[in-house]
């Protein structure tokens, strides 16, 4: 005996062909949506797994140690190029050279050496700059308009001494400045007075030599 059309409980009657087609189409849409969501989640998990492998499994090695800067050798080359003596500070092992190069502020060319504490837990820095043919106002320009507050003599060389407010001078807390023939030597940064005097002592002979050359 042939079966009649299936009665749909929600309708209380058999579906029409259009309703059957619409129901099947909606079921297909829901199935495709669920498949798309599962595929998206699977793709995200695969991507995350690849990232984890790159981060933890790919060897990156250790960057090589930076070659130490030979200040005396660089100073000799610069002196030959400039036709004058370039100072060569010699600091204790408590300080390391970060850079040693020629710089310019637009008006004065300088031979500049930058030191940092060897102990990574210590803060501070020192810059030693030889301003070639620098004018009298050059130290004040570098030090945000500061004026010297006295003098100090180190190994026979008299230096102008500056005490500065780091909040106004890019973390510079002190400085020493002196003329050396046509040049000006400026030591500045954030360090103890002993460190400033250590630099001053290490360049005293160079300052004296520059003064004698200018006579």
Host domain of residue 32: 11-57
Q: pLDDT digit string (tens) for 25-45?
A: 767 676 666 666 676 677 677
Query: Count of domains in the chain?
Result: 2
Q: pLDDT digit string (tens) for 146-185?
A: 999 999 999 999 999 999 998 888 899 999 999 999 999 9
pLDDT of residue 55: 64
Both 100 and 191 in one domain: the answer is: yes
Is residue 96 over pLDDT 80? Answer: yes
Q: Determine the Cα–Cα distance for residues 98 and 95; give it in Å rounded to an integer.
A: 9
Both 44 and 93 in one domain: the answer is: no
Helix (H) or strand (E) segment spanning residue 188: strand 183-190
pLDDT of residue 191: 94
Instruction: Record the tokens describing residue 20, joined without a space.
Output: 């059957």
Both 32 and 108 in one domain: the answer is: no
Tell me if residue 97 falls in helix, strand or coil: strand
């Amino acid at each position: 005996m042939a079966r009649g059309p299936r009665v749909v409980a929600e309708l209380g009657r058999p579906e029409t062909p259009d309703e059957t087609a619409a129901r099947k189409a909606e079921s297909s849409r829901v199935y495709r949506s669920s498949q798309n969501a599962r595929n998206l989640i699977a793709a995200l998990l695969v991507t995350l797994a690849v990232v984890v492998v790159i981060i933890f499994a790919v060897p990156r090695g250790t960057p090589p140690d930076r070659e130490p800067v030979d200040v005396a050798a660089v100073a000799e080359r610069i002196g030959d190029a400039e036709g004058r003596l370039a100072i060569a500070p010699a600091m204790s092992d408590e300080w390391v050279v970060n850079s040693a190069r020629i710089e310019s502020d637009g008006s004065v060319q300088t031979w500049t050496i930058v030191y940092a504490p060897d102990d990574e837990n210590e803060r501070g820095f020192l810059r030693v700059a030889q301003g070639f043919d620098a004018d009298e106002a050059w130290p004040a320009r570098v030090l945000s308009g500061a004026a010297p507050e006295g003098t100090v003599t180190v190994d026979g060389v008299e230096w102008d001494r500056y005490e500065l407010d780091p909040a106004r001078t890019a973390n510079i807390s002190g400085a020493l400045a002196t003329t050396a023939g046509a040049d000006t030597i400026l030591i500045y940064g954030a360090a103890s007075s002993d460190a400033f005097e250590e630099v001053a002592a290490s360049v005293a002979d160079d300052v004296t030599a520059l003064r004698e050359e200018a006579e």
